Amino acid sequence: MNRIIARREIGFSADLVKKAEAFERERLLNPAARRKSADPRKTRLICPSCGCPMIPRPFNYQYVVPVDKCGSCGRIWFDADELETLQILIERARTDEKERR
């Protein structure tokens, strides 16, 4: 990497935090909804980068935020607010872990 781009820390809006909390309640704490989020969509999305079909899948098994992964180029694409939701959940888990120590 040739350079590091610095950015200001910007907090999340109250709406995004509420959305992440709702996602956590509905999907992460509910095993039935977790399985449903792994179900493939009826219509496949096409990768904006290479034009190949994408596969809907959870980001990982700890944070089952649904993402679309290209089967060809391997890029991961997030829908609106999914990346922010993931970041809120990860930051909250880290804060909770630090408080437990």
Contact assessment for residue 70 and residue 47, using Cβ atoms and an 8 Å cutoff: yes
pLDDT band at 40 (very low <50, low <70, confident <90, very high): low
Greatest Cα-to-Cα distance within the chain, rounded to the nearest angstrom: 47
pTM over cut 0.75? no
Higher-confidence residue of 5 and 94: namely 94
Query: How many folded domains does the chain comprise?
Result: 1
Cα gap 75→81, rounded to integer Å = 18
Q: Is residue 66 part of a domain?
A: yes
Query: Is 100 inside any structural domain?
Result: no
Q: Quick check: is 8 in a domain?
A: no
**Phi, psi for 58 (deg, rounded to 5):** -70, 150
Could you tell me how far CA 14 lies from the centroid of its own chain?
18
Q: Which residue has the higher pLDDT, 36 or 20?
A: 20
The more confident residue out of 17 and 32 is 17
Residue 6: inside a domain, yes or no? no
- How far the first Cα of the chain sits from its last, in Å, is 35
pLDDT tens digit sequence for 42-101? 568 999 999 999 998 888 888 888 899 999 999 999 988 888 888 898 888 888 777 877
pLDDT(37) > 70: no
